Structures are given as structure tokens and as C-alpha cells.
Amino acid sequence: MKSSTLLAPCVLALLIASCAEPQRCGANTDSEEAVDDDDRQLPLCLVKDVELTGNVSRFDYQDVDAPNHQLILAHMGDSAVIVFDLDTDQVKATLTDIPTVRGVLAAPSVNRLYATASASDELVIIDATRLEVVKRVSTGTGPDGLAWDGVSHVVAISAQRAGQVTLIADDGEGTRTDVDVGNDTGNVAFHDGRGSFFATVVSPEQLVEISPAGDVLSRIDLPGCAGAHGLRFHPDGKSALVACEVGGALVRVSLEADHAIVSAGTALGPDVLSVDPGFGWIYVAAEGGDLRVFDINGAGLTELVSQNAGGRAHSVAVDPATHKVYLPLEDGGAGKPVLRILSP
């Protein structure tokens, strides 16, 4: 009886957290200082909503450009890349005419930003400090996610509709190689420790490893993962984390010989993933606005919280330096898009 008495308010608190929008943080949260381990708390609290440029329309991927203290956002429905200053919490620039932009990626050592224009089948190369488009390069059909190998200087693009991964040498300005991987390609990521790219593939659901030269090195089956899409690596490099869009699940698959898999349920339509390496957490943003946080410090996936981040907040990025979490919302309530900033 004692345990039931204690459990009831806990369950009620979790239900409230999962349905209500985030509560505002305390007075000292809106600063550049990182959240300490001892200070972090869940559910995440609201630091602020910052109005963005453009119209009420869909966003897609984000990436943190740490050396330049900026966040890169794909405003897919507006065909624009928004560059957001992480120090001032203001929009620095909006680059337009990037048709149906989906993937964005920072490559700090070559001072480049990359974006995929899905409607024109292009890789768009942007100077990271001048914030100007410097080149447009042809890709496979339906470019989506992006990855970059800073050693071989190869850019990888998941050509979703072609079922390929496009590799472009010389930091995106050189020879193009198209690698067939499946019927539909999800996201792509570069594994620093292995020196290879990995891509999620649908039909069959697999994680495919590709060398920078374009050789398929391995295929790892993902049983129980319907609609393999989002992809990130554990900070120790020993496992990959995959969002399964159709099944509503997150899977963690070992990159060691046994390819052991553990899974956890998410809301329907899990899309973008972001890892906070300092805390050992992974954020999973789903199409309906559900945001889940999993602890990945241990061997499995331990759900810490599920909460409503805001309507259609399916894209998430975390700044490893401050642990702040960023989610673009199509409509912040006044007929304008906003960037929602949360903090643990």
C-alpha cells in the first residue's frame, strides 16, 4: 500500500509533463554558462522562444557550428537556411533560394556549411563566416541527410529517393560517386573512430557502412526497426542509435561483432536525434511534438522523460557546451516561426 501511495503522484506528474508545454526556467537559466551535473533537472524548462525569419512552414535538420557559436537550421518549407547566433540568441543571416532544404551540416576545419536542396537535387556550399553561398553541386535524387569526413575531405549525402549515398570529394567540390545501398536511404553520419560513413536504409532495414572511396564495408540488420531513418553514434563510438519512423521506436545497435540490439518505444514518427555527450543523453524529437530523453550511459536505453516540446517540434539540436536544447516551431502562436530554447 505504501508503494502505491507514493507511485500515484509520480504517475500524475509524468502525465502532466508529457501533455503540458514546458514551464519557464528560473531567472538564471538565460545565460551562456553550462548547466552543471548537479543542477540539471527534468522535464526540460523553457528558457525562451525567439522569433525566426520566414513564414509558418516546416523545418528539418539543424547543426551546431561550435567554433562560430552558431546554429544552422533548415527551414524546409521556406527553402531557406537560417543561421542563429548562440551568443546573442538572434538570427544572424537567412540564406534563401535553397529549394526544399533538408539537411544542414557544419564543417568547421574548412569553414564551410553544407545544405541539401531536395527539390533541385543539389548540395549547397556556404562560407561559414561570410554566410554566402559559394557553390552548388549536383547530387543523387532527393538529397536529405549530410555527413563529412574531415580526413579524406569527402561529403556524404543520403539521396533518399534514389536509395543511394552520394559521395563528393574535395569537400564537396570534386568527383562524385553514387553508392547503391537500398530502396530508400534515411540519414547518413561519419564515424570518426572507424573512418567510415554509415547510412540507414529502408527495405531492408539496415545500417550500411561505406568507405570514403565508396566501398560497402558491412551491412547490419535492424530487426524490429520499421522505417529506419534518424542516426547518431554513442559518444564512445561502440554503438549506433537509430530512429524507426514507422514503428515508433529508438534502437541501439552494437557496432561490435555481435551487433546486439536493444530498443525502446517512442511517440509515433520519431525523426531527428541529438546526443549530449557530456550528460550521456540522447534526445528524440517526434512529428507530433513529443520529445523524449534517454540515458545512454549504461548498456541500454533508459527513458528519463517524455514531454510536449510544442506543436510539430520534430527537429532537435543540443549545444554540448551549454546543454541547451533547440527546437524550431512552425508557429509560435503569433503567426511566425520561433526557435524554442529549453534547458535541463
Closest CA to 231 of 153, 145, 316, 173: 145
Q: d(Cα 112, Cα 132) in Å, to the nearest integer?
A: 10
DSSP label at residue 300: S
Tell me, what's the pLDDT at 247? Answer: 84
Which residue(s) pair with 249 in the sheet?
244, 265
**SS3 of 7, please?**
helix
Residues 6 or more apart whose CB falls under 8 angstroms from that of 280 comprise: 235, 295, 296, 297
Match 534515411 to its residue by C-alpha cell: 186
Of 148, 145, 112, 110, the closest CA to residue 127 belongs to 112
| CA-CA-CA-CA torsion sign (314, 23, 241, 82) | positive
What is the distance between the alpha carbons of residues 71 and 86, in angstroms, rounded to a whole number?
7
What string of pLDDT tens digits covers the 344 residues of the chain?
333 333 333 334 444 445 678 999 986 556 556 666 666 789 999 999 999 999 999 999 999 999 999 999 999 999 999 999 999 999 999 999 999 999 999 999 999 999 999 999 999 999 999 999 999 999 999 999 999 999 999 999 999 989 999 999 999 999 999 999 999 999 999 999 999 999 999 988 999 999 999 999 999 999 999 999 999 999 999 999 999 999 899 999 999 999 999 999 999 999 999 999 999 999 999 999 999 999 999 999 999 999 999 988 999 999 999 999 999 999 999 999 999 999 99
Tell me, yes or no, if the pTM score tops 0.75.
yes
pLDDT of residue 128: 98
> To which residue does cell 547518431 refer?
232
- Sign (positive or negative) of CA dihedral 140, 70, 63, 285: negative
Q: Does residue 314 contact residue 287 with C-beta atoms inside 8 Å?
A: yes
Domains of the chain (ranges; CATH) run: 1-56+222-344 (2.40.128.630)
Strand partners, 64: 71
The residues, ordered by sequence, that sit 6+ positions from 213 with a Cβ below 8 Å of its Cβ are 177
Cβ–Cβ < 8 Å for 271, 315: yes
| pLDDT at site 21 | 81
Euclidean distance between CA atoms 83 and 100, whole angstroms: 16
How far, in Å, CA of 16 to CA of 313, rounded? 18
